[in-house]
Amino acid sequence: MLQTGSVAGREFSHDLIQKVTELSEEELLSHLSVLKDSELLYERGIYPQSRYVFKHALTQDVAYNSLLQKKRREIHENIGKALEQIYIERLEELCEILAYHALKGEDWQRAYKYGRQAGLKAFSHSAYEEAQRYFEDALTALKKLPRERSRIEEEIDLRFNMRSALLPLGRHEEWGEWVRGAESLAREIDDDARLSNVLGYLSSLHWIHDQTGKAIQLGGKAFTLAERTGDFSAQVASFLHLGIYYFTSGDYAKQVEFHQELRRRLTGEAALQQHGLTSFPGAWTRSNLALGMAELGNFDKIEEIGREALEIAERVENAFTLVITYALLGMAYLRLGKVEPALLLLEKGHELCRVSKVQFVYPYTAGSLGYAYLLANEPMRALTVLEEGTKPGNLEGGVWTVHPLTVLGDTYRAVGEIALATETVSNALWLADEGEERGFEAWAMLVMARINVDAGRLEEAEGWYRRALEHASNLSMRPLVAHCHEGLGHVYLKTENREEANSELAAATELYRSMGMSFWLPQAESDLAEITC
């Protein structure tokens, strides 16, 4: 009995030990009495709801290790089955312990079932490392089962689950290997819906590695396959991913088109489901849609769309989804110049990102919060956040890293560190060019122009403003176009070219006014009035 109890754990119930040992009540109580009198166990609770606890952990270890491997395995299996019967109404609550005993008992079907349940449960609580361990155990068990089509399908889905757990942690090479293994399995059973997801996930690996063109190409194949199969969740994933890649490339019109369509499809219960993804796409697509529209200067509906995104994200309570939603919406509000509501979102997102270890978007959240502090005229607070967020260890595994580097360079400029500002933004420009991130590149050009103004290099500043303006115009980035005109106006003021200054500041003022960007309007109007006078 002591050996059996040691397999159950440091503590076990009366019901459990009775069911596993199959002793009569009289025999059971007699043996338990001896063990209590010997001070090996002590009793908690009132019979028959008693629980028995090993007085010393060493006693449990000795009893457990005294069992032969075969006997130990049999007891683990029997305990798992007994727990299943006793707690039939609480199986989900106890899936972790059921998975443990099934795995130790080599009860492979149950080990797979409860291991995956435990992994999904941990994942739902944003416990990503714990989820990954359960998924690996489930896969170990699954591979012991007969190789039938259903088993292959389950293995593919488990590999997708592994990706979902590893993605927020920034462990991209690991999940990439799991997904590549799923590709051959999907082709083996001619499962185009799962193959579409494989291609979509591998396209996101290109995106993460700053290969935006390749991401769009492979993501397009996933999209075509998903549309052909008619699988709704595969379609959701392909719409979301392609939209993200187009956003990264600076093709905001296409991004808005994809994410607007996905917003239309993801309503009601569908908006509250994950569709096999790490995040809840109902929230991500809306928050990214709001930011894409903001980049284009279409601010009319971003608050309405933002409310939808927040409602979904806060209802599902998924850390990765919340961080993404707060970060993207916060940046959308900053593009408009609404600093206070942006700060509320970005401070929450940045803190949640740190505590939940969502490394994947940590640099981007730091960049967005730093930008909010910079606009709020708190450059030293911005510097603290940005220098931490752009440390080499934090940049690795992150996405959209051009953004925090650009903001860091702008902050160095604001505190008078011109050399550091130049070096940092030069690095951002190089990364943007390598990754084909044209929108982020245009913003970095704007900052480089400002750095040159502060350094007194007005001819170089004009050149950078002109380059940023050309990029912004080609991408229809009207807020950035307005900032470029304002910057050029200041350059011409410094060179006493009043006619050109008047033209540029008038253009900036008109754009700010038409888009409702009131945060920047007073200064532009004041400068314009000074010239007129």
CA distance 123 to 51: 31
Confidence (pLDDT) at 396: 83
pLDDT of residue 419: 97
- Residue range 50-90, pLDDT digits in tens: 899 998 999 999 999 998 999 999 999 999 999 999 888 88
How far CA 452 is from CA of 250, 379, 459, 481, in Å, comes to: 25, 19, 8, 18
Q: pTM of the predicted model, to two decimals? A: 0.88
What is the amino acid identity at position 70? K
Q: 458-517, pLDDT tens digit by residue?
A: 999 999 999 999 999 999 999 999 999 999 999 999 999 999 999 999 999 999 999 999
Going by C-alpha positions, the residue among 187, 165, 188 that lies closest to residue 178 is 165
pLDDT at 533 over 70: no
Please, what CATH class does the domain formed by 87-190 belong to?
mainly alpha
Angle at 471 between CA 468 and CA 473, to 5 degrees: 105
**Alpha carbon of residue 193 to chain centroid:** 23
Instruction: Determine whether domain 2-68 maps to CATH 1.10.10.10.
Output: yes
Please report the pLDDT score of residue 137 as a whole number. Answer: 96
Spatial separation of the C-alpha atoms in residues 161 and 133, rounded to whole Å: 11
In whole angstroms, give the CA distance from residue 456 to residue 441: 23
Tell me the percentage of the chain whose pLDDT exceeds 90.
Answer: 82
**Each residue's pLDDT tens digit, 428-474:** 999 999 999 999 999 999 999 999 999 999 999 999 999 999 999 99
**pLDDT tens digits, one per residue of 30-39:** 998 999 888 9
The answer on pLDDT for 226 being more than 70 is yes
Give 126's pLDDT tier (boundaries 50, 70, 90).
confident
Domain map (residue ranges) of the chain: 2-68, 87-190
What pLDDT, on a 0 to 100 scale, did the predictor assign at position 22?
83
Of 487, 430, 497, the C-alpha closest to 461 is 487
| pLDDT tens column, 351-360 | 999 888 888 8
pLDDT over 90 at 322, yes or no: yes
Cross-strand pairs, 54: 41
Compute the distance between CA of residue 470 and CA of residue 492 in angstroms, rounded to an integer. Answer: 18
Query: Does residue 23 carry a pLDDT above 90?
Result: no
Q: What is the mean pLDDT of residues 158-176?
A: 93
Q: Is a pLDDT exceeding 80 seen at residue 397?
A: no
Within 317-378, where are the H helices? 319-336, 339-355, 362-375
The reply to whether 87-190 shares the fold of 2-68 is: no
Joined together, the tokens standing for residue 423 give: 């070096």
